[in-house]
Homo-oligomer: A and B are copies of this chain.
Amino acid sequence: MSQPVDSAVSDVRTYIENHRAAFLDDLVAWLRIPSVSAQPEHTADVRRSADWLAAKLKETGFPTVEVWETPGAPAVFAEWPAEDADAPTVLVYGHHDVQPAAREDGWDTEPFEPVIRGNRLHARGAADDKGQVFFHTLGIRAHLAATGSTAPAVHLKMLIEGEEESGSPHFRTLVENHAERLTTDAVIVSDTGMWAEDTPTVCTGMRGLAECEIQLYGPGQDIHSGSFGGAVPNPATAAARLVAALHDEHARVAIPGFYDGIVELTDRERELFAELPFDEERWLRTAKSTATHGEAGHTTLERVWARPTAEVNGIGGGYQGPGSKTIIPSSARVKLSFRLVAGQDPDHIEKIVRAWAADRIPAGIGHEITFSGATRPCLTPLDHPALQAVVRAMGRAFEQPIRYTREGGSGPAADLQDVLAAPVLFLGISVPSDGWHAPNEKVELDLLFKGVETSAYLWGELSASSREAH
């Protein structure tokens, strides 16, 4: 770990301690706004949440704060230039909308009436994502106080969207429309978590996603399996044979070209994954599964974080009601999703899946394949200077070694990476027990303030790593 760069740890901690109560009061006020983007009855609340955040960012000191409209819910953009024109630019991403929540879903208290019990602040959005957006406001102020500056050490931008919990339907267009305003050297995504309370980690990448539906057409209508069975092709059989052919006997994806060009895990990354205190039995309980199963030659963590997959998300065809019906169904369909890793291009995946399917569907069965919007994978190499800056900032806050994880899911961060051509770094202090999307969502207060502290160090570390890189 390097030495402090721009401020003494003690100055930062003192500042945070002095502003802790007011910070929590503010966060609680924000959490009271039920900014549920998926529920039309909360449309006004999502806007209120955007306006509240905009006002608070103004109050934090951002000279420019704007509410950006979309065809759906508004996003908040804020910009605070560094004094040094040559300082690097950093864009913080998060979201101000939240998942639906109702007391009757199993909450012990009202989800939009935040309560602090011991070290925990319970409320919908406490961890996902208001808490993790908001810790930057105090972090930035602590950074200024400790450095005696009036502007941050980097050109700081924030983009806090309002539709993440609804699938970010307008996010890519928003980023494309404002690409010039959003230009940045690095993106800090504050919408993830870390391994565990006692194991601070930084995430280095997310998998991408390609999705398709394959429709298979057989007889013009359901036909009698007695009269015709055994003599014409069955589209449900064709669907099943496609799904069965997705993987070889080593559980590797068997679509020709699927692994072309992928960035393989380095030995160092595999070692780092293996050092994590991973309890497979516990993981299986989280997965509500009784056995692991996956690509030969890889551990479970490697499989979910760093290996591409082909999964069937849905399959259907023929009679699915009670009892039996002796038909050859007229059609069947499968929904497939492919998780992608760095080096895989969704357009290439679409091309090879189409060729593979066409090649395997028998004569007499028609088919149609529809791909929906894809998400690219993102990955920052371990030695990337900006990643190391995040690690140093977290290390100073946590006073512990920072380990590395990845994220198996896919998210709008990839749109930022794509459109802005900038590396994406993940800074999150949430832990698996926080209950994202679940009843009794909470954030651990000590971790929340470690987030504040990390943010206080981050801008100086990023500025320093940029200087080193040049």
Contacts and interface: CB of A to CB of B under 8 A. Distances in A.
Contact of A364 (B234, B243, B289): B289
Interface stretch (A158-166, A312-320, A459-467): A312-320
A229 to B, nearest CB: 5
A177 interface: no
A291 B363 contact: yes
21 contacts: A223-B288, A223-B289, A224-B409, A228-B408, A229-B339, A229-B408, A230-B294, A230-B309, A231-B287, A231-B304, A232-B292, A236-B314, A237-B244, A237-B311, A291-B364, A293-B364, A312-B329, A313-B318, A315-B320, A316-B317, A316-B320
Contact of A319 (B313, B317, B366): B313
Given A230-B307, A311-B328, A324-B372, 19 more contacts: A211-B326, A213-B324, A219-B289, A223-B287, A225-B309, A226-B339, A228-B287, A229-B304, A230-B294, A230-B311, A231-B293, A240-B244, A241-B243, A290-B364, A291-B364, A312-B318, A314-B320, A315-B332, A324-B337
A221 interface: yes
Nearest to A410: B226
Contacts of A333: 320
A335 interface: yes
A315 B314 contact: no
A289 B410 contact: no
A239 interface: yes
Interface in A42-68: none
A297 interface: no
Interface in A332-383: 332-335, 337, 339, 362-364, 366, 372
A320 B333 CA distance: 8
Interface in A206-225: 207, 209, 211, 213, 218-221, 223-225
A233 interface: yes
A300 B231 contact: yes
A362 B209 CA distance: 26
Interface of A: 207, 209, 211, 213, 218-221, 223-234, 236-237, 239-247, 284, 287-295, 300, 303-304, 307-309, 311-320, 323-330, 332-335, 337, 339, 362-364, 366, 372, 407-410
A327 B303 contact: no
Contact of A225 (B292, B337, B372): B337
Given A318-B314, A323-B372, A410-B226, A289 B236 contact: no
Contacts of A290: 363-364, 366
Contacts of A329: 312-314
Interface centre among A304, A315, A364 (most CB of B within 10 A): A315
Contacts of A213: 324
A229 B251 CA distance: 12
A307 B339 CA distance: 43
Given A244-B240, A290-B364, A312-B236, A409 B319 contact: no
Contacts of A323: 372
Contact of A315 (B220, B240, B247, B366): B240
B339 A313 contact: no
Contact of A231 (B219, B239, B246, B294): B294
Contacts of A363: 290-291, 293
B230 A312 contact: no
Given A209-B326, A294-B230, A304-B231, A225 B311 contact: yes
Nearest to A327: B313
Contacts of A219: 287-289
B288 A220 contact: yes
A295 B240 contact: no
Contacts of A225: 309, 311, 313, 337, 339
Contacts of A316: 315-317, 320
Nearest to A407: B226
Nearest to A312: B236
